[in-house]
Structure formats: structure tokens, C-alpha cells
Structure 1
């Protein structure tokens, strides 16, 4: 996911991220390929790579200790990624048979249709995917994006279409809670002339994000472009861990540890002299983004989202389905809504196959 901004998503053959937060076309690509090149990546989820013996592996990495760590590579190339790729380019030859390329592009097209369809599903009160899908085409071409760890990273990975010139980052190695707002502040200090948008969950905001707003309030007048927007996914839940408990351990939501106290994030921002808007109706999301992106100062967009919209992986394994079923049978308080939202998501995927 750290490489999301390397290739723009508007290229028809870019399949997107790989892994738990990845896409269906990336999963299909790995499951069907006969050769793959891994460049500067240390992805720990080997279950998303081709089966051993299925594909010939080539790895480019500047650190020789990384080569072959996740997959038995046939061709290890130690060196700078750019220089190595440039040396390989003359060895590539265009094939006349474009059927495989057409299949990949068709999978990408259908995947974006699924993503857009899922984002249009109703939720209580607002589908978080809708919030991200609304802002994606509105983002400035030179925007810098940051995402916190948790469900905000899910929707950043799935629903944001990166265009050429955009940059994006998150805690992709440690998946640490809390970097979304500090990363955004750091981006503004490094590039005060560029707009910045941070996607942050309410757990991370309560952990340190609201304190970081104090720092932002101190320095924003020094920036050539004052736009720094912090989206807060306000669902009063440590949502990623709640879903991990359900889908990995088969445990129902443990409300004592997972439920967060309510907090007025937008009002808090305005008390610091920043902009802020509270949204709890789907029809207000688009206007809220317009206001935030057009503001003359940093802005907090506080959106109440449904915590029961499932972050469906690109491929649901039997163990995950079994664990989720156990969680509901054990009395998860949101069982009915989980079934409804999960069914909506899978039906929309099947309709586009």
C-alpha cells in the first residue's frame, strides 16, 4: 500500500494494491500469472503471491537481505530500482496477442464498477465508502494524501483513484495508529504550497489527532496554501480491530474495549480557529468536501459513518467466513446489519462478474 501513488489509477492496466486491503484484479493477476517481478517490496502476506512453483519470480531490491525472503526468486537483482528497470526495458518485446492484456484491463474496469456500486449502498447513517468516493474526483491534482491505520486505510486503498502528480503515504510497515494527522502536518511543512488531505479514524483522533490540531493551528498561517483537510470517520468504534476480532478470532464485538466516547471534532477545530463541519446525512457529503477543499484555513470534516460496513478482502477465505459466522452466532450486537451490508457487497461484486 505504500506504493499506491507510484502508478496512477487512471491507467487502464493498473490493478491496484495487493494484500488484505487489495483489489480483486490484483488477486486474479497473482493467481493466474506465470512470471512476476517484485520491486522494492517486502509484502508479508505471502498468501497473496502465486503458489510456489506456479510462477517464475524476479526480485529487484537494493538490500540483498530482502531478496527471496517472501518467495523463492529465480532471478535476484540487487540494485537501484530505477536503474535496474531501465536496464531491463530494452529486453521487453511487445506481443501481438493482446488477449491477456485485454483480460487484465477488463478486470480493472469491472473492479472500479464494483467499488463505485458498493459506495452507493445505503448505510446507517453514512457509508464510509461513499465519503471517499465523493472526494476522489474532487481532489486537486497536486494533493498529498495521508491515511491513518485502521478502516481509514481500507477505504483509502479501495476508493481513492490516484492521478499523476498526487502523493500518498501511511504507516504501511508498522500499521501504527495515529500517524495520519502528524503525517499531514509534516507534508504541509515540507510542501507549504500544496494541499493536503488526511483520512483519520476517530480512534486515532482521540489518541493524538486532536492534539496535533493545536500544532496545526499554530503554524498554518505560514503556509502559501492553507488547505489541510482532516476527515474524521466518526463511528465511535475502534473499527479495524473490531472486524479483525470477528473475521480472525470468531469473537463478537467486545464493546467495553471497542466503543469510543463521543467527541465533537468539528466544534473542537473551530474552537482553535480552524474550519469545521459536522455531517450526519449522506446528501451533505459532497457539499462538505467542497467547503473543506475551498476553505481559507485548515478544516476538519467530521462525518458520522456506519461501523458495520465490512472491509471485504479481495478474496474471502473459508477460515474468515467461518470466524465471522461464529462471531455472529456468539451474539455480536450488530449481526443483522453485518449480514445486510456483507450481502450487499458480495451481490454487487457478483453482478459485475
Structure 2
């Protein structure tokens, strides 16, 4: 078999339906093998390699099955760094097949070889942003590399893997067979020990104010039903990271939302006042811990911590756990449900705690709810979030880009299903939401897929509309148009005396006080063959979104949003050495 045939057949064997990639002289030998198998695996070719990676990442987040990307030598593969870093940061998996110079030319400085430190050295470019990189140098090395690549991607904590292929391997032949199928996600699920479960039960028996804190690990293990049953059995509230949202019922009064500076007030209050935190499949990064300042989101070590994660490196990274457990989140929750029932823990012991949490929920609702119905031009951010929550179907997949709009959705969006709110959380990559919606639509062709993206992020990656038109993908992009890199502009305003430079868009480089500028995004969409609508009045938003979803066509909705309204902070966040700000709503509490 040719190397390219072996690769293609293995992807088919693994039931990979798509390869997202862009042609180049370095991978053209692979394209012929894909052409011969185009009834079994489809090549989807976006207009930029970064987009291919984000599409594969989003596909995995929705489907929990990895697909592959294909890039050429040199710049094409270098464009994958952003999307690989995004996937690695959020524990998302795909196989990044990069191409390299022929083995006979290695270390001779042929076209697009990196050779200053080692021949064909491109895998070292990707080393920090992948779980593992493989570089077979002969066709007979491919079977093992392919199987190990798939095993590595989905075993333990998922992550992207790089398979770097010298050009000649696509065309050269060897007497090889397609290797056996690799593992599938979820086949191997480590459990907590009996001693660890007993220790957690003992903590719960002594607790008066316990809280769950869940993240992407819970989503990846599909622990939602077990988590819901466990929290309802105990009557214990749940705080969710953005990548954990949707795992548990969003409308339940014990689902408190996100924590940290742009979290919900009840979540920060529960974190501050809890005596036991059961953290399942998430980590304490700076944004979900108010930059680790005691009393703003958490009160460790006075608060006892149970930290459960499939990756042992995450245990104790920022807060030493009282009980640290390496386990699959779903298995742990099922074990705990049995143990809680056996121990006959009475949920009534937490009744006063639940009443306190409900009171915080009401305080928060009384504070925020009036702005959700405010009619204004430009449109208030809360109104946009509220209208989308009303008019988008429950099965919508929301693909969110990095930007100030994401802060509003972290704070207020209530996804109705798991794997339906896609965020670039760990790496906060602009372009993920813009491109990822394409992969989400391929993963769930019958569901509406809507991207809410900033004007800055959309302008970075506008070619996505071309891909949607080419492949008839009915994605909708809602551009949060505030004529600025608004999240960074707000940092300038808040931390540097209101001076602004390089964070807002002005015509003719006029600078502050000049005429704000952005392209006509709706016209841009129409030029690409998609639908395009501009919304400047609150009253027109709902109908425009409903019509776009109903049409089942690619569509860009340019929504002019008020840049002067900022998310109400309920925790804090610090960029040292700049001083951190006090919460706008609520106040720290040190136990």
C-alpha cells in the first residue's frame, strides 16, 4: 500500500467522516487517496488552516469523536498552532496531519524545511501545543504511529495529536496492513478508590454548606445525568465553568452559573461561604478563582476541597485538596450516588443552606432583570442575550468567540443541553467561535448552529462565510458589533486612567472622538452568497434571528451593541502588578 492509502483507510476504519484541510505541494500526494475514498471520508476545505483546526476541535466538543486535519509543509501547518493550542487548553481532541519535506532532502534546506536545530524540525514547533507528536520516516512505521496517535488522543485527558508525514511517504509503498482500531473515548474510565469515596462521604456528613464546581471534564465524560441525580439527591447547589454549562439543568434554582469576576453573584456567594467544595472535572484558573484572592470566589484552605480529575497534574495545581482523586467524572458521580444512598445522608441537613442560596438568586435577579427588557439604540448587551435565549430553540448549539460578548454569555446564558455551548476558555482564541460553528454544524447537521462573535474576531476570520456557502452549511453568525476591541478597551479605561490607544476602530485613523468604523458585515455576507442583515434597533433583533434560523441558509446578522455597558463584576480579576478592582455587586467574605 501507499502511505496515503494506509492513512486514508485507517481513518475510514476509525469511522472518521471528515478531514478538514487545505491543499499544498507537500500534501497533494494525500489528496489522490482521499479522492478514491470520497464516498467514505469527505475532505472539507476551508480558506485557512487555523479554521480547519477550530472546526475539528468544535466537532469533537459536540460529537466526542475525533476527526482529522490535513495541512502542507511550512506556513500551512504553522497556521495550525493557534487551533492546536486552543484544543489542548480545553481538552479537545483531533488528529493534525502535517506534511514535511521528503526524507531524502532532510537537512539540505529544501523549500519550507525548518533545519536550524534538527532536520525536518516542524514537530518541535508544535510540541507545546499537542499531547504528542509522531514523525514516521518510512511507510512501514505508519501503522504503529496511526494507532498510537488515536490511542493518545482519547485516552485519559483528551487532547490533539500531531502526525508529521514526510512528503515521500504519501507516495511510497510498503507491504503493510491497516492496523487494528484504536480505543474510543470513554472505553477506559478510572474509578475512585473505596477509601477516597469514604473520605468524601465523611466530609459531606460533617458539612453544612457544600457546593459542586464542575467543568469540561464532566462534559467530556458525559457525567450530566449522574451529576444531576447526585446533586438533587443531596440538595446541593452547582457552580459551572463555561465548558461545564449544560451538564446539569440550567433552569434549576440550584444551578448557580459561573464564578469569578464575570460570574453570577449567587455562584460567587456560594463559593465564598461554602464549607466543602466538590470540584469535578475542572481547574482553578485565574478567571474562575478571582485571581486566587481569598474571599472573592473561594476561601481555601479554610474551605475543605475535594478535587476530582482524570489528569493528576491538575490536582493541587493552585489549591491543595483535602481529598484529591484521579478518576473519570461520570464514574466518580455514580460511585458517590451509591455511597450517599448507602450512608443515608439526609438532604434536609442542607435545607437552610439552600434557602440562603435561593435568597442570593433573588437578589441577583432583582438587580439584573430590568435591563433585559430595556429598549435602546445601540442595543443593550443584556437585551441581546435575553432575546437569543427566548427565540433560539432548545437544541441550538452556540459557538462563542473570545471577546466582551463572551463575558455576558458566561454570566447569563442558560444552555439546555450538554455539549451545546462551545467556548475557547483556556486559551481564549479569537476565531474559535467564528470557525468552530462550521465543525459543530457538520457534527450536528439537523440542529441550528449559531455563532455569537465580536466584530474584531469576525474581521480576523471572515472567510468562514465562503466555506458555509460552498458546503451548504446553514450556520448563523451574530456579530456583536461595538466598533472596538472592547474587552481590552475596558481594561484600558479601568486601569489606565481612561486613555485609549489601539483598542477602538476609527475611520481614517482619526483616533478617540472620531467617526467609528467597521465594514458592512451584512453586505460582506451577501457578496459571499450568504444572507446578510443589519440590526440597529432592539425591536428588530428577535425577528431577524428567528428568520435566519428558519431559512436554513448561511447568514450574518450585524448587531450594533452598546459598547458603554459593561458586565457587572461579582468577583475580581487581576493583571499584576496593576491593582485589582472590587466587585460591582456583592462583596468579598473571608471565612
What displacement does 1:87 show?
1.0
CA gap 1:20/1:264 in 2 versus in 1, 3 angstroms? same
Q: Are the equivalent residues in 2 in contact too, given 1:180–1:198 (CA < 8 A)?
A: yes
1:18-57 equivalence runs, <5 A: 18-45=259-286, 46-47=292-293, 48-57=296-305
Q: Are the equivalent residues in 2 in contact too, given 1:251–1:323 (CA < 8 A)?
A: no
- Residue in structure 2 matching 1:275, options 531, 535, 543: 531
Tell me, in whole angstroms, the C-alpha distance in 2 between the residues paired with 1:105 and 1:163: 21
What displacement does 1:215 show?
1.0
**Residues 51-97 of structure 1: CA distance to partner in whole angstroms, max 9, x if unpaired?**
23321110001111110112121101111111112111233323324
Secondary structure, aligned partner of 2:477: strand
**Correspondence 1:214 to 2:466:** yes
**Correspondence 1:239 to 2:480:** no
Q: Which residue of 2 aligns with 1:162?
A: 415
Q: How many residues align?
A: 322
Tell me, in whole angstroms, the C-alpha distance in 1 between the residues paired with 2:430 and 2:574: 29
**Correspondence 1:62 to 2:310:** yes
Tell me, in whole angstroms, the C-alpha distance in 2 between the residues paired with 1:138 and 1:267: 24
Q: Which residue of 2 aligns with 1:293?
A: 549
- Residue in structure 2 matching 1:132, options 385, 405, 409: 385
1:196-345 equivalence runs, <5 A: 196-208=449-461, 210-220=462-472, 226=474, 228-247=475-494, 249-259=495-505, 261-315=517-571
What displacement does 1:236 show?
0.8
**Correspondence 1:77 to 2:329:** no
CA gap 1:273/1:41 in 2 versus in 1, 3 angstroms? same
**Residues 194-245 of structure 1: CA distance to partner in whole angstroms, max 9, x if unpaired?**
110111000001111x11111111112xx5xx3x211101111000111122
What displacement does 1:258 show?
2.8
**Correspondence 1:96 to 2:343:** no
Tell me, in whole angstroms, the C-alpha distance in 1 between the residues paired with 2:401 and 2:523: 21
Q: Are the equivalent residues in 2 in contact too, given 1:275–1:295 (CA < 8 A)?
A: no
Tell me, in whole angstroms, the C-alpha distance in 2 between the residues paired with 1:183 and 1:275: 19
What displacement does 1:21 show?
2.4
What displacement does 1:181 show?
1.4
Q: Are the equivalent residues in 1 in contact too, given 2:297–2:571 (CA < 8 A)?
A: no
Secondary structure, aligned partner of 1:231: strand
Secondary structure, aligned partner of 1:312: coil
What displacement does 1:114 show?
3.3
Tell me, in whole angstroms, the C-alpha distance in 1 between the residues paired with 2:366 and 2:467: 40
CA gap 1:263/1:290 in 2 versus in 1, 3 angstroms? same
Q: Are the equivalent residues in 2 in contact too, given 1:229–1:298 (CA < 8 A)?
A: yes
**Residues 301-336 of structure 1: CA distance to partner in whole angstroms, max 9, x if unpaired?**
11111111112211368999x9799xxxxxxxxxxx
* Structure number with higher relative contact order (C-alpha < 8 Å, ≥ 6 residues apart): 1
4+ long deviations beyond 6 Å = 317-320, 322-325
Tell me, in whole angstroms, the C-alpha distance in 1 between the residues paired with 2:346 and 2:329: 22
Tell me, in whole angstroms, the C-alpha distance in 2 between the residues paired with 1:155 and 1:125: 16
What displacement does 1:135 show?
1.1
**Residues 88-113 of structure 1: CA distance to partner in whole angstroms, max 9, x if unpaired?**
12333233241211221332344344
Residue segments in structure 1 that go unaligned for 5+ positions in a row: 326-341
Query: So what's the TM-score if we normalise by structure 1?
Result: 0.83
Secondary structure, aligned partner of 1:232: strand
Tell me, in whole angstroms, the C-alpha distance in 2 between the residues paired with 1:317 and 1:64: 26
Secondary structure, aligned partner of 1:9: coil
CA gap 1:230/1:258 in 2 versus in 1, 3 angstroms? same
Higher mean C-alpha deviation, range 45-54 or range 280-289: 45-54
Query: So what's the TM-score if we normalise by structure 2?
Result: 0.51
Q: Which residue of 2 aligns with 1:146?
A: 399
Tell me, in whole angstroms, the C-alpha distance in 2 between the residues paired with 1:310 and 1:233: 14
CA gap 1:169/1:319 in 2 versus in 1, 3 angstroms? closer
Tell me, in whole angstroms, the C-alpha distance in 1 between the residues paired with 2:484 and 2:533: 20
What displacement does 1:141 show?
1.9
Tell me, in whole angstroms, the C-alpha distance in 1 between the residues paired with 2:330 and 2:347: 24
CA gap 1:91/1:243 in 2 versus in 1, 3 angstroms? same
Q: Are the equivalent residues in 1 in contact too, given 2:301–2:319 (CA < 8 A)?
A: no
Residue segments in structure 2 that go unaligned for 5+ positions in a row: 1-241, 287-291, 507-516
Q: Are the equivalent residues in 2 in contact too, given 1:142–1:165 (CA < 8 A)?
A: no
